[in-house]
Structure 1
């Protein structure tokens, strides 16, 4: 009985070690692919609007990527395909990068590969990750408008120049039926700005997003903000409500300038 127990223990250690090794393997991030090289090459046409959006949201593939490769040339990938490689990441980096990529490029996937650590080239995320909101607009063509938010911040430089800024940016992304990015727009929601050296003195104001609603007008979202100033000159706006209208159809999306209502201005005294 004892040899059997020892054998089982040894088997457990071996299989456990194998799983641990597999979990630590690098991961290739793949945007698109096809068995046919010409079809894979044609997929590159969808990259430009996605690239612009990735840059806007701070997710940057390594230089020279994506690159079309034959899968058999990257150890670990199943041969017989042509794939667009977005990067190769260490196991710990792969999951958050893949999650972000899949939000904007739903067909992106990861595959374990055999790549030396010194040769890894993983996309870099500059700033906060995207978050998905529930609001959507759907169109007869199969296009869908989805809404994402991203927190942004800024602090004064070493010499104290600049403002302290915290804000939430809304990204409106129009996806085609196949998940490709057709068009994008963005605007600010919550916003907080403080500074000591604005053009007319101290700067201090807040804008709080109060609601986002799908309008009864087809293809329209409306954002409403309540803004107020912490410091204001005589006659300048102290508080106001702002609305931003996002308009989309099955091929484009745009965000309007903020429209102010219910303005209150600073009292100038006697």
Structure 2
């Protein structure tokens, strides 16, 4: 039986995978495009902005979805967060805060009042989930296994305070973590630190880890990497990318594998806990 699915679409390569999986299932698809993405194929496409949350919600209500999926990255300003809280009415007033976890709770509560079932992108396209073990590039050196595990623990720790999903460590010493600037901002800072001689090389190999926030609801985007992540990691001097297995996404795995091999970067999935 087909469903009516609204896909709230941000940036990045996750969105086409999710949209295709929804269409392949035979569902009626509405895409709410938040970033001006070209070439979207759907039964209905709305191009809206988070700055006008009231109009955005009205468009979704008019479609009448049974299910909703949030996918892709969106830079949300403090003004956007306050606007969403106002548009969500009671759900916004009951939100525990306007951080990512608080915002997710607000969306969940509002969706329940509307009868919309929130579904995670990984539930729509489970083939994207990162497996445990070697994924791409050279095998993980035994000496770096504890460093990679430490990096995952660091990423989980910053996720616990709702800061980000990524961290970079050198010889098990955290040197930079993700904030509102996202993974790209993190990798730029690491490249700058390395250029200044503060990290890397004689200080020890650099490991990038991505892990799901401990309090993150199941419908929120899991941490993800694509081929661009590998390229930027290499430019920052990172030699290992560690992902939380079963809780991270691989976008365009074949391209990740070829780029990791070319750059000599190890990509590995690790279980946490």
Which category of TM-score, normalised to the shorter sequence, fits these structures?
Answer: under 0.3
Q: Between Structure 1 and Structure 2, which shows a larger proportion of strand residues?
A: 1
Indicate the structure (1 or 2) with the bigger Cα radius of gyration: 1
Bigger relative contact order, structure 1 or 2 (CA pairs below 8 A, ≥6 apart)? 2
TM-score (norm 2): 0.24
Q: Between Structure 1 and Structure 2, which shows a larger proportion of helix residues?
A: 2
